Structure 1
């Protein structure tokens, strides 16, 4: 009975000195939280832009809110491509791709401190009902917008972790 506990303790011992620390240590008061809380999201065009900017604002506000030191500019490319054809040459499946190019701009100096991209795609079955297909395309866009926002916030957090001094 004691053998599994000892094995578990021995296996966990090397992890204590590995140097890993939580990305969001300190919560909204830590270096990453303070930086993310100081990001203002610029307007993004289109329905996809409305969804992505809303998701970004929701995530950044949840981490912390402070005076805007950075501005996040995002440009989106939303495409739907038909894949697969039925015997009557109609499309059987679609692929919706949402790509974002974003820049984090320092509000003090006006320089671009981060220039990166994020992307995600989803497959959509094209069914006999046009309404159902449109609903599936819309749902796919909502999911893709959430995924893009998650990718952007994660990349911003890594930037903040790398560049900001640790706070007590």
Structure 2
């Protein structure tokens, strides 16, 4: 067996278990990603962090055409000093975040999903207050994007149970 035939055989062998497991791409026509698109109204934000979270979710879900579901959420963040020099200067700060969310079917007011996601990011402090403030804001934005992507993953993974 030549080397290219062996690779072809091994790739087919690796994909074979997926054929019987019910695996289906979420963004395929009729997949979970397409079912959710334009169907979820995300609760209006009331903070800058909420605005970043909602912006990313709407980017992934699309603006609601039919408000079949309402996605409510709460955001919690905390900061921890990570790196402290010998002179007690803080040089790196960790921001941890958690989003607790509920998805409610609007027609029946039935909660179809309640879950939470958590992650963290960090930023470096510098000698200028302006640069440190910009780094903090950027870290917060990255945190909200990561949390929104995790919320989307949970919605997509569970959507076949409730959609």
Category of TM-score, reference length = shorter chain: 0.7 to 0.9
Q: CA deviation at 1:65?
A: 5.1
Q: Is the 8 A contact 1:32 1:161 kept in 2?
A: no
Instruction: List 4+ stretches of structure 1 deviating above 4 A.
Output: none
Quote the offset at 1:154 in angstroms: 1.2
Task: Please state if 1:24 is matched with 2:27.
Answer: yes
> Shift of residue 53 of structure 1?
0.6
Deviation at 1:140, TM superposition (A): 0.6
> Helix, strand or coil for the counterpart of 1:33?
helix
Which residue of structure 1 lines up, in the alignment, with residue 46 of structure 2? Answer: 45
Q: For the Cα contact (< 8 Å) 2:26–2:32, is it kept in 1? A: no
Aligned-CA RMSD value? 2.0
- Displacement of 1:52 in angstroms is 0.4
Number of matched pairs: 159
Contact 2:121 2:139 in 1 (8 A): yes
| Structure 2 unmatched ranges of 5 or more | none
CA distance, structure 1, for counterparts of residue 115 and residue 92 of structure 2? 30
1:28-66 CA distance string (max 9 Å, x none): x544412342100002331100110111111111xx853
Alpha-carbon shift at residue 136 of structure 1 (Å) = 0.5
Query: In the aligned structure 1, how far is the partner of 2:11 from the partner of 2:87?
Result: 61
Structure 1 contact 36–160 (Cα < 8 Å) conserved = no
TM-score, with length taken from structure 2: 0.86
Correspondence list, 1:1-168, <5 A:
3-14=2-13, 15-16=15-16, 17-19=19-21, 20-26=23-29, 29-61=30-62, 66-164=65-163
Question: 1: distance between equivalents of 2:64 and 2:103?
Answer: 17
Unaligned runs of 5+ in 1: none
| CA-to-aligned-CA distance 1:76-95 (integer Å, 9 cap, x gap) | 01222223333333322211
Shift of residue 73 of structure 1?
0.3
